[in-house]
Chain A
């Protein structure tokens, strides 16, 4: 009897104390504890931080991106050529592409052989890529001092990209071929600006999909005009009577269409502004175009152009033999 009484009071006592302790602990949960007495040496701390950084970086690379395997692939063809801003342009372009799942970047250099700059860059980019090269014949190439609109640029390189795709498409078998059924091809110049939403819009393209492009054709944006879900005409300030008055960045083509039309290519001799038409008119009619970007009312890609950096001091130094170290890659 005596034992029981003792137990009861003890139980009540410890219950009250534990309850108070629990409440106190729960209140403490919201506060930051004062942990300044972690007396680690600086080097150990730095190495710990670096290790943490490594972990985070690896996490980025192997994150959901790789898990998303069931969406159609996007093949992006980018013609590029050597000039001062090339590495910068490719760098910021790669940052955009790294966010897009199932993207395969086809970089085609306007060069007789692959350059070390692009080779090393692509290897370090973290992207899935194919590195090609095709030299533009001299008579089609823009000379120093030519205005940029004089000759169409990148036609040979884009055709080379298409050729590679057709080769790959023909060689693909079984599961790989099935994966390419719904793939999409997009022509992305290395100086434009692309939003991430754009790639999700173009991903589901049956034939050819289209959308507005900002800052092109001398206007804030050019766009297809959509009525009842179909493209009826194009809103552009310059030569609207072209078969397809649309910028290279304003459309995407399904890979299936590219593979089933092996003769479709860009005409390097086309008149100014007709490069896109030379390719599209063999593939699709205006009626078949699929409007994206909220029925072509949103601008998701901008035709930005980068200034040529002023090199007058560099040139002056070079003349004196005091130019900057050519081993430093810019």
Chain B
């Protein structure tokens, strides 16, 4: 016959074990959200370093700016949405800060976005560094200077390289060096120039890219829009352009997105630097990665315009004169 004392003893012994078992069982069903740590080592964890560091970065930033304009905060990070790695090459000119500001205002609406800003400069400029810090976005700031002899103006066609090529390649290299292809990190890579206009719908269309997705782009090739040609099976079979539609990929930089795994699995694929004819830059990368059959048409089977190739006028600073009428201390 069990005494009360024994029953009590038995109960007290079993209680913590029961708690432990339930705890373990909980973990098996719902993985615990990892607590961000500063010193992370080990290749397997590298894939998460990205978004974890970004989460802490976001938290820090939002606290700092919370006093004034907390509405700037990007949407909360989701553990299940694929990450959009948006690569933006940029260079210093009067409208640079304006362009980056309005691009920021668009990107702040997009969840799970990682912005790779690559400056065409020898060093990271204070303007861009400060701007990126203040946005609250999840970003990576890189820079590489295009050598003078390869810049677009005043050089014969076969020598110069299209603007932004070296910068985009650097971003691709960064992704390859910092994301482990074996991690379960899902991502999509998109090249977004800083003067184009992007709708929010576009980012959601490209998020579900399996290999490579394509869509129409407005105001390119001297047309209202250029778009891929889609057949009745929903596959791309050609390009609706006037300018050289026989290019392997007659598409603008803003008209396609690539699955991150594709980039990581083919580490030799880059934009070609030299010997690229005008309009063939996109093809120089894509032909090493996909064929026409692999392309996934988006934007309602390529019938909607979700991105515009806008260009900003160069401001006429005629009244500045030789010495500069306005104060150099004010950042524009």
Query: What are 19 A-B interface contacts by the 8 Å CB criterion?
Result: A52-B78, A52-B80, A56-B76, A56-B111, A84-B224, A85-B308, A92-B198, A100-B71, A214-B94, A215-B95, A219-B317, A219-B326, A220-B94, A235-B326, A238-B319, A317-B223, A328-B216, A330-B224, A330-B308
B123 within 8 A of partner (CB): no
Measured between beta carbons, the chain A residues less than 8 angstroms from B304 are 328-329
| Cβ A48 vs Cβ B80 within 8 A | yes
Measured between beta carbons, the chain B residues less than 8 angstroms from A87 are 305, 308
A10 within 8 A of partner (CB): yes
Smallest CB separation, B109 vs chain A (Å):
6
Binds A, one of B96-104, B143-151, B262-270, B290-298: B96-104
| Cβ A219 vs Cβ B76 within 8 A | no
Smallest CB separation, B49 vs chain A (Å):
11
B246 within 8 A of partner (CB): no
| Cβ A95 vs Cβ B80 within 8 A | no
B158 within 8 A of partner (CB): no
| Cβ B330 vs Cβ A298 within 8 A | yes
Q: A25-B23, A46-B208, A317-B223 are in contact. Are A3 and B5 (CB under 8 A)?
A: yes
Smallest CB separation, A171 vs chain B (Å):
30
Q: A10-B13, A33-B31 are in contact. Are A304 and B98 (CB under 8 A)?
A: yes
Chain B residue nearest to A311 (CB atoms) is B222
A313 within 8 A of partner (CB): yes
Measured between beta carbons, the chain B residues less than 8 angstroms from A33 are 27, 31-32
A112 within 8 A of partner (CB): no
A119 within 8 A of partner (CB): no
Partner of B31, one of A18, A32, A217: A32
Apart from A215-B95, A220-B326: 4 A-B pairs, beta carbons within 8 A: A53-B78, A68-B71, A197-B68, A299-B332
Chain A residues with a Cβ under 8 A of chain B = 3, 7, 10-11, 14, 18, 21-22, 25, 28-33, 35-36, 46, 48-49, 52-53, 56-57, 59-60, 63-65, 68, 84-85, 87-89, 91-92, 95-96, 98-101, 193-197, 200, 212, 214-221, 223, 235, 237-238, 297-299, 302-307, 309-314, 316-317, 323-324, 328-330
Smallest CB separation, B162 vs chain A (Å):
18
Smallest CB separation, A8 vs chain B (Å):
10
| Cβ B332 vs Cβ A302 within 8 A | yes
Chain A residue nearest to B6 (CB atoms) is A3
| Cβ A64 vs Cβ B9 within 8 A | no
| Cβ B320 vs Cβ A95 within 8 A | no
Measured between beta carbons, the chain A residues less than 8 angstroms from B242 are 313, 316-317
B75 within 8 A of partner (CB): yes
Residues 1-19 of B, flagged 1 when their CB comes within 8 A of A and 0 if not, give: 0010110010011001100
Smallest CB separation, A326 vs chain B (Å):
9
Chain A residue nearest to B69 (CB atoms) is A196
Q: A32-B48, A195-B101, A307-B312 are in contact. Are A60 and B75 (CB under 8 A)?
A: yes
| Cβ A305 vs Cβ B109 within 8 A | no
Measured between beta carbons, the chain B residues less than 8 angstroms from A314 are 222-224
Chain B residue nearest to A214 (CB atoms) is B332
Chain B residue nearest to A6 (CB atoms) is B9
B174 within 8 A of partner (CB): no
Please provide the chain B residues from 189 to 223 with a CB less than 8 Å away from any CB of chain A in the complex: 197-200, 204, 207-208, 216, 218-219, 221-223
| Cβ A84 vs Cβ B219 within 8 A | yes
Smallest CB separation, A228 vs chain B (Å):
19
Q: A30-B34, A30-B35, A330-B225 are in contact. Are A218 and B317 (CB under 8 A)?
A: yes
Measured between beta carbons, the chain B residues less than 8 angstroms from A307 are 310-313
Residues 68-110 of B, flagged 1 when their CB comes within 8 A of A and 0 if not, give: 1111100110101100000000000011011101100110110
Partner of B319, one of A53, A59, A212, A218: A218
Measured between beta carbons, the chain A residues less than 8 angstroms from B35 are 29-30
| Cβ A196 vs Cβ B305 within 8 A | no
Task: Provide the bound-state CA to CA distance between A53 and B75, in Å.
Answer: 11
Task: Provide the bound-state CA to CA distance between A26 and B117, in Å.
Answer: 38
| Cβ B224 vs Cβ A21 within 8 A | no
| Cβ B305 vs Cβ A95 within 8 A | no
Across the A-B interface, the 6 shortest Cβ-Cβ residue pairs? A237-B319, A313-B222, A218-B319, A302-B98, A88-B308, A309-B219
Chain A residue nearest to B66 (CB atoms) is A64
| Cβ B197 vs Cβ A88 within 8 A | yes
Smallest CB separation, A43 vs chain B (Å):
12
B184 within 8 A of partner (CB): yes
Task: Provide the bound-state CA to CA distance between A100 and B72, in Å.
Answer: 9
Q: A91-B197, A237-B320 are in contact. Are A306 and B313 (CB under 8 A)?
A: yes
Chain B residue nearest to A329 (CB atoms) is B305
Smallest CB separation, A48 vs chain B (Å):
7
Chain B residue nearest to A85 (CB atoms) is B310
* Interface-centre pick from B20, B23, B207, B330 (highest chain A CB count, 10 A): B330
Task: Provide the bound-state CA to CA distance between A222 and B68, in Å.
Answer: 25
Q: A14-B13, A36-B184 are in contact. Are A219 and B319 (CB under 8 A)?
A: yes
Measured between beta carbons, the chain A residues less than 8 angstroms from B126 are none
| Cβ A218 vs Cβ B80 within 8 A | no
Task: Provide the bound-state CA to CA distance between A273 and B324, in Å.
Answer: 22
B122 within 8 A of partner (CB): no
Measured between beta carbons, the chain B residues less than 8 angstroms from A96 are 102, 105
Task: Provide the bound-state CA to CA distance between A212 and B331, in Å.
Answer: 11
B45 within 8 A of partner (CB): yes
Smallest CB separation, A67 vs chain B (Å):
10
Measured between beta carbons, the chain B residues less than 8 angstroms from A11 are 12-13
Q: A33-B32, A99-B108, A219-B326 are in contact. Are A7 and B9 (CB under 8 A)?
A: yes
Measured between beta carbons, the chain A residues less than 8 angstroms from B219 are 84-85, 88, 309, 330
Measured between beta carbons, the chain A residues less than 8 angstroms from B27 are 28, 33
| Cβ B223 vs Cβ A313 within 8 A | yes
Smallest CB separation, B48 vs chain A (Å):
6
Task: Provide the bound-state CA to CA distance between A48 and B208, in Å.
Answer: 13
Task: Provide the bound-state CA to CA distance between A87 and B308, in Å.
Answer: 9
| Cβ A59 vs Cβ B225 within 8 A | no
Chain B residue nearest to A22 (CB atoms) is B20
